[in-house]
Amino acid sequence: MWERALAAVRIVLVEPAGPLNVGAVARLMKNMGLQQLVLVNPQCDPLSIEAQQMAVHALDILQTAQLVDTLPAALQGCTKAIATTARGRTLTTELENPNMALPWLIAEPGQAAALIFGPESRGLSNEELNHAQRFVRIRSSSAYPSLNLAQAVAICCYELSLFAQKQVSLDTPVNTTDYASLDVLEGFYQQLEDILLNIGYLYPHTAASRMEKFRQLFNRAQLDSQEVAMLRGILTQMKWALLQRGEGRGA
């Protein structure tokens, strides 16, 4: 069934503040065949009476929702992540329409993927956006462009559901590329930052902004596991060479 194509997709809500929104998201997820809800540092009780009443027959989605403290924890094991945002900010990656970008999440069924939504009051920060590889913007009227959180989730889940049904009906072949998970990439980014600080390419006061560019570059490339291992091997050898020459920190 087409719902199986959606089984590995996580809907990630960062710091949701409204129990009605959380309940509504659970209901529409069940409507559209999605099962995994992850709440990052929720600012409300996801099992409150209000949330349960809004969820109606999707109480099981609320009860099995994963609660985590940080966005990286929510993305543990994922190989793909798309973030939703209303503004381009400093992103060098284009903002895509949901119907164009979201099929990428389920083009390879079985690989864990995430669709990330920000808090109702502020959306996703630049730091939070760094954890995604692609970015979606729901086009709306300039007279009132801000969408309610549950409405935004509904639009995106509907697009995912449409593609899943089409993929199953066409019996689309599955690609089995062994993409590196986002937590593996995070380890690479930390190692890269450490080496670049060591050699003086980065400075502590500008490291964060520079690393944003590197994250965007490598996220666009969507490295597989062997490629990340190769790059980390290079960094490990660089660190060894620096220590041999007495140029590394603490040497």
Q: How much is the average pLDDT of 163-185? A: 76
Interatomic CA distance for residues 194 and 188, integer angstroms: 10
- Tens digits of residue pLDDT in 192-250: 999 999 999 999 998 998 999 999 899 888 899 999 999 999 999 999 998 888 755 54
Calculate mean pLDDT across residues 146-170. 88
Looking at the DSSP bridge assignments, the partners of residue 115 are 11, 82
Q: Is the pLDDT of residue 133 over 60?
A: yes
Taking only Cα atoms into account, the Rg of the chain, rounded to an integer number of angstroms, comes to 20
Q: Which alpha helices (DSSP H) does 18-148 contain, by range?
A: 19-32, 49-55, 59-63, 71-74, 98-101, 126-129
Rounded-to-integer distance, Cα 8 and Cα 164, Å: 12
pLDDT of residue 251: 44
Mean pLDDT of the chain: 90
Q: Which domains does the chain have, with CATH numbers?
A: 2-170 (3.40.1280.10), 182-245 (1.10.8.590)
Reported as a single tens digit per residue, the pLDDT across 49-63 is: 999 999 999 999 999
Check if the beta carbon of residue 48 is closer than 8 Å to that of residue 84. no
